[in-house]
Structure 1
Amino acid sequence: MADRQAIEATVHLYVEGMAFANEAALKKAFHPKSSIIGHYQNAVEWLSRDEFIAAIIEEGAAPPGTQPYMDIESIDISGDAATVKVTDEFAGMRFTDYLSLLKIEGRWTIVSKLYHLHI
């Protein structure tokens, strides 16, 4: 149960970091070598963690007091590896994210984000 709670905390850190353009939170949630991949504006978008964070910051933060939308649909854990399916919203867009996490030095971190943008 402790792993599940720690994974959920990482997902919350990611969603809130994205909603409020919090660079420190996003850097804590994502591994430095992570990748963010999906279709955006009719093209495959393949970003590094730092490119993703820069795009989030450029878009800007939600107003203070906003409650970010997040629905964790599934968590699957096998030892030190896990996947999470989460639906969230950013900048008026709804995404389904498939997050791959790895437990590194006792802490769960996102190593890959594959997303679908709902139209």
Structure 2
Amino acid sequence: MKRAILVFSLLPMAFVSCNSSNTDKQVTSIQTKNNQNMQVTEAQKAGILQAIDLYIEAGNKGNSKTAREAFDSKATMSWVENGKLKNVPIQALYDYFDQGVVASSYELTSIEVAENVATVRIESQFGTAKFSDMFAMVKDGNQWKIVSKVYHLK
């Protein structure tokens, strides 16, 4: 229940379900603020949002332990700094969270799924710094994991 409250308070989206006899295969049409329609099953959406909720919780609390649950152990983070591409292990994000920096806002703007892979975009703010965060995710067994975070500092 806590996850649902957190997610729906962050999501400016309308959800419309289609009829289906199998709830794992039930399809949801998600209308994003970009007016793009995407088809995602309820099971896919729940699994993806479980990992994203962990990331958001970690950012809200400045807690790398929670973030570790959302990411694959070999995940990476990438961005451009002074015109040059930077790629680092996800440990750099954990170190950032452990400095006590906490997010002031998150907004989920898109989810795209192709069977067992997905991309998620979030607009976030940490203090005065605003970011566009994009996550590549893979379903590992029954759990979705973030394998890469790519961001742009606005």
**What is the TM-score with the length of structure 1 in the denominator?**
0.83
Contact 2:104–2:127 (Cα < 8 Å) also in 1: no
Residue from 95, 101, 108 that aligns with 1:72 = 108
Contact 2:122–2:133 (Cα < 8 Å) also in 1: yes
Contact 1:19–1:90 (Cα < 8 Å) also in 2: no
Match of 1:30 in 2: 71
Match of 1:13 in 2: 54
**C-alpha distance in structure 2 between counterparts of 1:44 and 1:14, whole Å:** 23
Question: Which structure 1 residue ranges, 4+ long, deviate > 4 Å from structure 2?
Answer: none
Match of 1:57 in 2: 98
Contact 1:11–1:29 (Cα < 8 Å) also in 2: yes
Q: Which has the higher contact order (CA 8 A, sep 6+)?
A: 1
- Structure 2: which amino acid aligns with 1:113? K
Q: Which consecutive unaligned segments of at least 5 residues does structure 2 have?
A: 1-41
Secondary structure of the equivalent of 2:131? Answer: strand
**What is the TM-score with the length of structure 2 in the denominator?**
0.66
Match of 1:96 in 2: 132
Q: 1:95 to 1:76 in 2, by over 3 A?
A: same
Q: 1:85 to 1:46 in 2, by over 3 A?
A: same
